[in-house]
Structure 1
Amino acid sequence: MRTDYHIHLHESNGLSLEWLKVYVEAAQAAGIEEIGISEHAYFFDETAGILTHPWAERRRTLKFKDYVALYEAAQAANLPVRFGLEMDYIPGKEEAIARFIERYPFDYVIGSVHWIGDWGIDLAEFRDEYERRKIDEVYEAYFDQVVTLAESRLFQFVGHIDLVKIFGYRPKDGAFLEAQYDRVVAALQKNGTLIEVSTAGLRKPVGEIYPSPQLLEKCRAAGVGIVLSSDAHHPKHVGYRFEEAVALAKAVGYTEIHRFEGRRAIPVPLD
């Protein structure tokens, strides 16, 4: 079975059943049997107070009832769509995040780290910040948050787990980077948090799948489960270069991916 659970609609053409059907058609053409909508949480008024950066505040224009209505319409139309969300993990906001999540019947919630303090690490407008900071300290701060994200047990899987490499900046010390991976994998394994194998990085400056083969291999050895994701922001991205993601997962020893119902991970064969 093939799935793609990291799907965004709003920025390309809004939240409508007609637009969602275009995504479903694109998925079916790519051999994907089930998708999940996972809009960015910061778009919704109900998440005010979680991610408070002005960049996000300017984009908070939606009501969550409309998102729920979209999913209900998809169910009524018998579309193979799961109900998800991508939530920015912000340290110290765990209680607010938990209250929000518990209000709605999610099939899964993706936890992602996009911010180190007030720095949006994957935003092109803030890219120069990498030149002003020590890269080892950036990676350590980033993976600190991935560890506490897992420890929060609020999320079913981590989005683009090594997103910090997006612009190609990396520590020079391989042993340092391996130590970061090891502590992240230990936190994932202990807390039952999965990761996505995401082809989004192939569309970014780094030109690589998230995560790196080394990190994915460590996850496999620790028994950390995986999800296939494209992080689609347009129908043409659905299932983007999934054969490469599947090949990487198989190369490090994975034989299963996971689908979700009611925030419960269900293993299915990786074919």
Structure 2
Amino acid sequence: MRDFHVHSNYSDGDFLRGMVRAAKSAGLEGVGFADHCNVASRERHESMRSVYGFNLDLTHERRRQGIERLRTDFDLEIYDAVEMDYDPRDEAAIEEFLLEAGFDYAIGSVHDVDGRNVQITAHFTEMTEAERDGVVDDYFEKLIALVESELFGIAAHADLLERTPPLRGRATEEQYHRVARAFADSRTVPEINAGRALTDADVVHPSDPFLSVLREHDVAVTVGTDSHRPSDIPERADFLAEFVEEAGLEPVEPDGIDRSR
């Protein structure tokens, strides 16, 4: 069992060593640090970077030094990865950064539509039903563009909308099929993401209807706990192990991992 999606203090998670120690204690064979990063130069994103400190484009070499030290201290695979915010307007900048940085693999995420973070309920409570459906449609168009860009080994929480009550359950089967066809033609794979699986929200990404469509198209999956604290890892890892076993899934490694290291 390998967990390809955790965060550290280089974005919004806990210290590297504590996260690795928790992964080792949980019996994982590998853990991948995929800290948030955004390379957009637009004013809103520049402001968010300064406030939230998602500056892995500036700090990845320092984090890599820490990861290298931990590799000598712990007997498990530790991956040097990144979770990139994706917007089609930033493809050139993302590609340039990923080529320069040389991560083990990259995760791509769609977190916002038209400047609204799709996880914030208040952004959508005053919208009409038609407007909410428009947000859902725009989200999946952006997700398809992410998959077709071939920039990423993993697409994170590919139905992130399900975390948000005004948007939950609004995706159509045709939207799921369109995304699944894009995955089937791409090196990018979706993840089984446990970030909200053990909370009151009780959300597993992808949802059962979406996962059924992905399986219909023979789309491979990988796994990630999306943990931000050491205490997240054991229960989420156990959940994922049980989930994939019951579903009869065999998770794959993301494209880009160098096994000769």
Under TM normalisation by the shorter chain, which class is it? 0.7 to 0.9
Contact 2:40 2:93 in 1 (8 A): no
**238-247 vs 105-114, greater mean Cα deviation:** 238-247
Cα 1:51–1:68 shift into 2, 3 Å: farther
Is 1:130 aligned to residue 124 of structure 2?
yes
Q: CA deviation at 1:191?
A: 1.3
Separation (CA, whole Å) in 1 of partners of 2:203 and 2:28:
22
Aligned to 2:52, which of 38, 59, 75?
59
Task: Write out aligned runs for 1:1-271 (5 A).
Answer: 2-10=1-9, 11-13=12-14, 19-42=15-38, 47=39, 49=41, 52-53=44-45, 54-60=47-53, 62=55, 63-64=58-59, 65-77=61-73, 79-123=76-120, 127-133=121-127, 134-170=131-167, 177-203=172-198, 206-254=201-249, 256-260=250-254, 263-264=256-257
Cα 1:61–1:171 shift into 2, 3 Å: closer
Contact 2:13 2:229 in 1 (8 A): yes
Q: CA deviation at 1:57?
A: 3.7
Cα 1:235–1:50 shift into 2, 3 Å: farther
Q: What secondary structure does 1:131 align onto?
A: coil
RMSD: 2.5
1:36 alignment partner AA: G
Separation (CA, whole Å) in 2 of partners of 1:72 and 1:265:
15
1:257 alignment partner AA: P
Q: How many pairs does the alignment contain? A: 249
**132-141 vs 152-161, greater mean Cα deviation:** 132-141
Q: CA deviation at 1:160?
A: 0.7
Deviations 1:4-59 (A, max 9, x none): 1111111344xxxxx323212211222211001111113xxxx3527943333422
Q: Report the counterpart of residue 269 of structure 1 in structure 2.
A: none
1:20 alignment partner AA: L
Q: What secondary structure does 1:192 align onto?
A: coil
Separation (CA, whole Å) in 2 of partners of 1:200 and 1:51:
29
Q: What secondary structure does 1:235 align onto?
A: coil
TM-score (norm 2): 0.85
1:69 alignment partner AA: Q
**153-162 vs 233-242, greater mean Cα deviation:** 233-242
1:67 alignment partner AA: R
**128-137 vs 240-249, greater mean Cα deviation:** 240-249
1:129 alignment partner AA: H
Gaps of 5+ in 1: 14-18, 267-271
Contact 1:230 1:240 in 2 (8 A): no
1:189 alignment partner AA: A
Contact 2:37 2:54 in 1 (8 A): no
Cα 1:171–1:32 shift into 2, 3 Å: closer
Q: CA deviation at 1:170?
A: 4.0
Gaps of 5+ in 2: none
Q: CA deviation at 1:235?
A: 0.6
Separation (CA, whole Å) in 1 of partners of 2:135 and 2:24:
39
